[in-house]
Amino acid sequence: MELRHLSYFKTVAEELHFTKAATKLFISQPPLSRQIKELEEELGVKLFIRNNKRVALTNAGKYFKNEVDNLFTRLEESKEVVRKIHEGVSGEFKIGYISSVYQSQLAEILKLMHQEFPYLKTSLFEVPTLAQIKALEHGDLDVGILRAPVLSEKLKVESLFFDPFVVVTPLGTHKIGNEHELADFLRTSPFIFFNKTFAPQYNQKLVEICHRLGFSPDITHEANNVHSILQLVEAGLGVSILPLSLKKQYGQLNVSFIEISDIPINTEVVLAYKESNKNEALNWFIRHYTRLKI
């Protein structure tokens, strides 16, 4: 039994007319009838009821048509997967990330990735969490580095690390000895933070921490990336509350990072991707990036 036998059978089963099926297959009717007869002889069953007036599937033929349909569907899916795997080796690999992730580690992985996939183009997109989720769902990104929660049934999520929050102040701020002094200082300080619409989960964490300290934050300035927030803090325009991991990335700025050890509120950094994405480069990236520790 060859694939062409199944293709001929599938076409006749759909058309229920040998002449129409032969036309669709670009062959004459006698060879088509002969191929169907060979298939029936090999299977040892009658697949069609044929007379001068009609062609119909037997019960065995109906079952076999369903199996053949599934087989051709699976074949098309396999062809698509093969194309995607090929594109993963020589096409474009699109990575989304948020500004508050330690980027030197990402650069380290990209160097190794270039050695493994020398013909692969990698593209980086700084995208906030909510926009990343939509881009991943629509296939516009292959993988995203973002902060939980990732509220999507279409995406698989893998935890990278939990990141505690710290207070960020301009360098030279008077020394703060305990949580009460910290709360008194922050209560009268203007805050610089992400817009609530831009990063709602981040904003919620900020408010929660401030409430735990006994006040509501006065958000005076807003920005859409962490570098801008830190530059505004450095310029003395206010304070902020940000993830501790940023200390490694922006340690050269003239700001102080004050840990809030008595308030165990943190944020989770995760990888998100479509599990149906069989891109070989994606599997490699997940394996290697999840090994990194902040």
Give all domains of the chain, ordered by start, each with its CATH number: 3-88 (1.10.10.10), 91-160+268-289 (3.40.190.10), 163-266 (3.40.190.10)
Q: Which two tokens stand for residue 193?
A: 């933070």
Report the 10 Å Cβ neighbour count for 219. Answer: 19
Contact by Cβ (8 Å): 6, 43: no
Q: Is the peptide bond before 149 cis (omega within 30 degrees of 0)?
A: yes
Per-residue pLDDT at 294 exceeds 60: no
Per-residue pLDDT at 207 exceeds 60: yes
Q: Using 50, 70 and 90 to split pLDDT, how confident is the model at 230? A: very high
Mean pLDDT over each residue of the chain, to the nearest integer? 87
pLDDT (tens digit, 9 = 90+) per residue, 83-139?
766 665 667 899 999 887 766 778 888 999 888 888 788 999 988 888 999 999 999
Is the pTM value of this prediction over 0.85?
no
Per-residue pLDDT at 206 exceeds 60: yes
Those residues with Cβ within 8 angstroms of residue 87's Cβ, 6 or more apart along the chain or in another chain: 279
Q: Give the per-residue pLDDT at 177.
A: 72
Runs of H (alpha helix) within the chain: 3-15, 18-25, 29-43, 59-90, 103-116, 129-137, 179-187, 200-213, 226-234, 246-249, 280-289
Residue 242: which of 183, 256, 108 has the closest Cα? 256
Q: What is the β-pairing status of strands 92-97 and 143-147?
A: parallel
Q: Give the per-residue pLDDT at 90.
A: 61
Q: Residue type at 263?
A: I
pLDDT (tens digit, 9 = 90+) per residue, 15-52?
998 889 999 989 999 999 999 999 999 999 999 998 87
Alpha-carbon distance of 142 to 138, in angstroms, equals: 10
Q: Using 50, 70 and 90 to split pLDDT, how confident is the model at 254? A: very high
Alpha-carbon distance of 165 to 134, in angstroms, equals: 26
Q: Give the per-residue pLDDT at 133.
A: 94
Share above pLDDT 70 across residues of the chain, in percent, rounded to a whole number: 96
Share above pLDDT 90 across residues of the chain, in percent, rounded to a whole number: 47
Q: Give the per-residue pLDDT at 138.
A: 92
Per-residue pLDDT at 161 exceeds 70: yes
CA dist list (Å): 227 to 99, 231, 284? 7, 6, 29
